[in-house]
Amino acid sequence: MLKAFELIRPSNLAEALAAVASGATPLAGGTDLLVRMKKGMLAPKKIVDLSGLKELSEIKEDEENIILGSLVTHGDVVDSELTNNYLPLLVQGCRTVGSPQIRNTGTLGGNIVNASPAADSVPPLVALGAKVVLSSVNGEREMKLQEFLAGPGKTLKRPDELLTSIVVKKMKPEERCLYRKLGQRKSLAISIASVAVKFGFDPETKKCSNPGVAFGAVGPVVRRAVELERLLEQKKLDQQAIKEIASKAREFCDPISDIRASAEYRREMCCSLLYEALYELTC
Ligand SMILES: Cc1cc2nc3c(=O)[nH]c(=O)nc-3n(C[C@H](O)[C@H](O)[C@H](O)COP(=O)(O)OP(=O)(O)OC[C@H]3O[C@@H](n4cnc5c(N)ncnc54)[C@H](O)[C@@H]3O)c2cc1C
């Protein structure tokens, strides 16, 4: 049973920031937070409900970037013309989250701050080099999402901060991308391993440009595989090169064994997922 708590319903961002500064725990969609509270893992005394803040629920663009408010839901990402046009990799990741109910309730901000290594919006965002914007009563700061993630369930967010938006460079129309997730079943499954890949590709020369690769659920945090990206840029991506690069994926994994899979299986699946992704994107 839930323990009693004070609920604050701010009418604007300034009120929400004042509430977190006074020690209130942020509530967005509640699909992670309320589960933990029901299980007795958390018992916040004060909660600030962000769900009414329209200013954090928008998807906007400027010349170079798509700016996603932290309250944008996975369903919003799947449905938005802007994300479908400019961030198809993120759309693919969000489409695999939970069920329609979870996608329409769970937010990008909650998915990021919850900091699960298996979060499905995060590998696409990390592969795309996304930045997070953190706000407090004292102002704003911005950092790379990859650096923000500090460990399972841990981020560099200070208790008095809210994640207010996520800034992602627009993908180029010619860039190809794929998010691959392995779960114990096809839907409503937490990732055993996942990979997000994007790059520009010239089918004539089989050379790739501007690659981004990130793995989920195979280490303490979602991790960008910069060394694999370098190999992708160096090699002519024929069958042989794809096999070689995919087999190196195990070197970038540091998985654990848990109820879903053994560490060794995860390591192997990392290579298979990357092989499948590279094969589909280049053939
Ligand atoms: C049945 C089920 C299936 C699921 N399946 C998947 C899945 O397939 N893939 C997946 O990735 N996830 C899955 N999840 C997890 C969850 O739905 C997502 O992580 C979701 O995006 C969390 O967002 P939320 O808005 O519900 O976060 P909340 O539960 O509201 O918050 C999560 C955490 O983030 C903090 N927080 C939220 N917003 C902010 C903010 N703006 N600033 C600062 N802190 C903030 C909260 O205080 C809390 O600690 C599943 C959950 C359930 C219950």
Distance CA 1, CA 76 (A): 31
- The predicted pLDDT at position 221 comes to 97
Pairing mode, strands 131-136 and 65-69: unpaired
The helix (run of H) or strand (run of E) holding residue 209 is: strand 207-216
Handedness of CA 120, 31, 260, 264 (dihedral sign): positive
- The predicted pLDDT at position 1 comes to 77
Let me know: does 115 contact 151? Beta carbons within 8 Å: yes
Going by alpha carbons, the residue nearest to atom 38 of ligand 1 is 110
**Terminal alpha carbon distance of the chain:** 53
pLDDT band at 186 (very low <50, low <70, confident <90, very high): confident
Domain spans in the chain, listed from the N-terminal domain onward: 6-49, 54-169, 175-282
What are the residues facing 141 on neighbouring strands? Answer: 134
- The predicted pLDDT at position 252 comes to 83
Which amino acid is residue 48, in one-letter code? V
Determine whether the shortest distance from the Cβ of 104 to ligand 1 is under 6 A: no
Q: Which residues contact 35 (CB under 8 A, 6 or more apart)?
A: none
Determine whether the shortest distance from the Cβ of 272 to ligand 1 is under 6 A: no
- Could you tell me the distance, in angstroms and rounded to a whole number, from the CA of residue 233 to the centre of ligand 1? 35
In 31-91, the DSSP E strands lie at: 46-49, 59-61, 65-69
What angle do the packed helices 226-234 and 239-247 form, to 10 degrees? Answer: 160
Let me know: does 123 contact 223? Beta carbons within 8 Å: no
- The predicted pLDDT at position 85 comes to 98
- Using the predicted structure, report yes or no on whether residue 189 has a pLDDT greater than 80: yes
- 228-248 residue pLDDT tens: 999 999 999 999 999 999 999
CATH number for the domain running over 54-169: 3.30.465.10
Give me the mean pLDDT over the 116-122 stretch: 98
Of 268, 277, 83, which is closest to residue 179 (Cα–Cα)? 277
The token duo for 164 is 């207010």
Determine whether the shortest distance from the Cβ of 66 to ligand 1 is under 6 A: no
When the pLDDT of each residue in the chain is averaged and rounded to a whole number, the result is: 97
In 241-268, which positions are buried (b, 16+ CB within 10 angstroms) versus exposed (e)? bbeebbeebbebbebeeeebbeeeebbb
Determine whether the shortest distance from the Cβ of 30 to ligand 1 is under 6 A: yes
Fold for 175-282, please state it.
Answer: Enolase-like; domain 1 (3.30.390)
Residues 201/205/206/209 CA torsion (nearest 10 deg): -40
- 28-46 residue pLDDT tens: 999 999 999 999 999 999 9
